[in-house]
């Protein structure tokens, strides 16, 4: 049977995963990418592929959906966590808490690994092709469009050994967190702000001072970067025959921004819906929505706790198995879901395209023409 070609807009982890899975099932695939290379939005920084939300190890899950780990993917079993006015707490787990991956345009990154897999399977990637309008069916994975969280940080060279640190402190990362990840002579230090974006320089300086005063990292050849993340929950992710995946669908961990898992899984689910002829909305609502909603409620609760709450969390991470503790709190709970209406009201999507005329809209990311959209 001849399979209909699939167009994908955006060569991030979501779009590339969809392309890889579709090619494995014999679909001709063309990906449009606005930049000259994949991973352009990222900066050679380390990120954590979280390993707590599913019982199954994330690398096993990737293998199952047809994604190879041909990129830097290092298990981290421990980390030090800081909260105000308390001694640093060490969390440890036999199961990796997260896998450290690198993001960006250089060799070894998740982005380059996915690109290589896609190209070797025969996915066509058209670089320097920005598509703002597209008629007809497509998968859209164009990434975040609004800032619900802002990240500022540095990548650097160092002589420190491989380790991971996290900080919960509103004076360093208001309603967010800061982290320092070291691997094989390179480091990434970032503060993630969920408030007071305009004071990003001040919070960046405070984070730098904090890490200098506490662990005195040896920082050389640093390069500064800044970026943002976007989350929202809508009832449908099919708009004008387009299936939205990854952060362009608002799929993001609303609590702490661990969006890579959502991006990859939603790309897989969009591909699966085309392969099987099944309903994409039904698939993501079943597989992703309960966790997505819980993360929104977690954000709502996290914003209410202050230093005492941060100390409680740090202590819990240290005293229990951090993967089990996080899995319990990241997954669906009936009582927690009673808070959903309040959480939804508080965090309304910032995605609004004021330039769109809304009539017969074919915009790649504006969904305003849809009656189902808020
Ligand atoms: C500083 C920072 C730290 C992070 N840390 C973590 C972490 O530790 N763990 C984690 O799980 N997640 C983390 N995230 C989130 C994670 O990076 C994202 O959720 C994930 O990359 C989203 O993937 P995506 O494919 O949806 O979008 P993207 O990765 O943004 O890819 C979208 C692609 O679409 C292209 N594009 C956009 N518009 C168009 C257009 N009109 N036409 C053609 N192409 C277009 C872009 O150039 C880009 O290549 C972090 C994010 C940031 C910014």
Q: Domain for residue 72, yes or no?
A: no
26 and 110 share a domain? yes
10 CA → ligand 1 middle, Å: 9
| Average pLDDT for 111-134 | 97
pLDDT in tens, 176-217: 999 999 999 999 999 999 989 889 999 999 999 999 999 999
317 and 282 share a domain? yes
267 and 341 share a domain? yes
Domain-terminating residue out of 229, 247, 272: 229
Model confidence at 362: pLDDT above 90: no
Q: Domain for residue 217, yes or no?
A: yes
359 CA → ligand 1 middle, Å: 29
142 and 225 share a domain? no
**Quick check: CB of 227 below 6 Å from ligand 1?**
yes
pLDDT in tens, 47-81: 999 999 999 999 999 999 999 999 999 999 999 99
Q: Domain for residue 219, yes or no?
A: yes
Give the pLDDT of residue 146.
83
CB 29 within 8 A of CB 73: no
**Quick check: CB of 11 below 6 Å from ligand 1?**
yes
Mean pLDDT of the chain: 92
**Quick check: CB of 252 below 6 Å from ligand 1?**
yes
Give the pLDDT of residue 230.
87
Task: Please report where in the chains the tokens 């689910």 appear, as a residue.
Answer: 269
Domain-terminating residue out of 206, 229, 252: 229
> Whole-angstrom Cα distance, residue 146 to residue 165?
28
Residue 168: which CATH number?
A: 3.30.9.10
310 and 253 share a domain? yes
Give the pLDDT of residue 363.
52
155 and 24 share a domain? no
286 and 207 share a domain? no
pLDDT in tens, 20-44: 999 999 999 999 999 999 999 899 9
119 and 175 share a domain? no
Q: Closest Cα to residue 226, out of 181, 192, 195?
A: 192
**Quick check: CB of 48 below 6 Å from ligand 1?**
yes
179 and 245 share a domain? no
Q: Domain for residue 95, yes or no?
A: no
Q: Domain for residue 82, yes or no?
A: no
Ligand 1 atom with least separation from CA of 179: 8
| Average pLDDT for 235-263 | 96
> Whole-angstrom Cα distance, residue 152 to residue 354?
27
* Domain of 180, in residue numbers: 149-229
Nearest protein Cα to ligand 1, atom 10: 258
Number of domain units in the chain: 2
Q: Domain for residue 92, yes or no?
A: no
Residue 19: which CATH number?
A: 3.50.50.60
210 and 237 share a domain? no
**Quick check: CB of 30 below 6 Å from ligand 1?**
no
Question: In 116-194, which ranges are E strands?
Answer: 124-126, 138-140, 149-157, 163-167, 177-183, 186-193
> Whole-angstrom Cα distance, residue 279 to residue 277?
7
Q: Domain for residue 87, yes or no?
A: no
3-state secondary structure of 177: strand
Q: Domain for residue 177, yes or no?
A: yes
| Average pLDDT for 85-104 | 97
> Whole-angstrom Cα distance, residue 111 to residue 18?
13
Higher pLDDT among residues 231 and 139, named by residue = 139
121 and 35 share a domain? yes
Give the pLDDT of residue 198.
87
Domain-terminating residue out of 197, 229, 261: 229
pLDDT in tens, 233-246: 999 999 989 999 99
> Whole-angstrom Cα distance, residue 344 to residue 202?
30
127 and 178 share a domain? no
Q: Closest Cα to residue 143, out of 238, 266, 240, 28?
A: 266
Give the pLDDT of residue 359.
54
Give the pLDDT of residue 369.
43
pLDDT in tens, 327-358: 999 998 899 999 999 999 888 755 554 555 44
């Amino acid at each position: 049977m001849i399979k209909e070609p699939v167009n994908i807009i955006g060569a991030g982890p979501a779009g590339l995963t969809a392309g890889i899975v579709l090619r494995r099932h014999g679909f001709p695939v063309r990906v449009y990418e606005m930049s000259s290379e994949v991973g352009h939005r990222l900066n050679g920084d380390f990120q954590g592929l979280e390993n707590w939300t599913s019982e199954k190890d994330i690398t096993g899950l990737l293998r199952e959906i047809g994604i190879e780990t041909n990129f830097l993917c290092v298990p981290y079993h421990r980390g030090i966590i800081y909260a105000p006015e308390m001694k640093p707490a060490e969390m440890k787990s036999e199961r990796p808490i997260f896998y450290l991956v690198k993001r960006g345009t250089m060799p070894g990154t998740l982005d380059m690994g996915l690109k290589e897999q896609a190209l070797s399977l025969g996915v066509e990637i058209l670089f320097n092709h920005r598509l703002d309008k597209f008629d007809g069916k497509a998968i859209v994975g164009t990434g975040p469009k609004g800032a619900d969280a802002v990240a500022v940080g540095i990548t650097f060279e160092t002589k420190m050994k491989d380790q991971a640190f996290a900080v919960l402190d509103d004076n360093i990362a208001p309603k967010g967190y800061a982290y320092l990840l070291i691997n094989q002579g390179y480091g990434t230090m970032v503060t993630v702000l969920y408030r007071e974006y305009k004071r990003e320089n001040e919070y960046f300086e405070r984070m730098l001072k904090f890490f200098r005063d506490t662990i005195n990292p040896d920082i050389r050849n640093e390069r500064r970067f800044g970026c943002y993340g976007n989350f929202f929950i809508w009832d449908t992710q099919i708009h004008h025959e387009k299936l939205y995946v990854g952060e362009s669908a608002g799929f993001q961990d609303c609590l702490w921004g661990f969006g890579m898992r959502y991006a990859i899984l939603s790309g897989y689910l969009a591909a699966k819906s085309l392969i099987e002829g099944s309903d994409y909305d039904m698939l993501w609502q079943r597989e992703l929505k309960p966790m997505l909603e819980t993360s929104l409620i977690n954000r709502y609760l996290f914003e209410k706790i202050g230093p005492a709450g941060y100390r409680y969390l740090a202590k819990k991470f240290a005293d229990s198995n951090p993967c089990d503790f996080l899995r319990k709190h990241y997954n669906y709970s009936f009582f927690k879901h009673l808070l959903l209406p309040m959480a939804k009201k508080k965090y309304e999507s910032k995605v609004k395209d004021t330039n769109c005329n809304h009539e017969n809209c074919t915009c790649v990311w504006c969904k305003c023409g849809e009656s189902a959209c808020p």
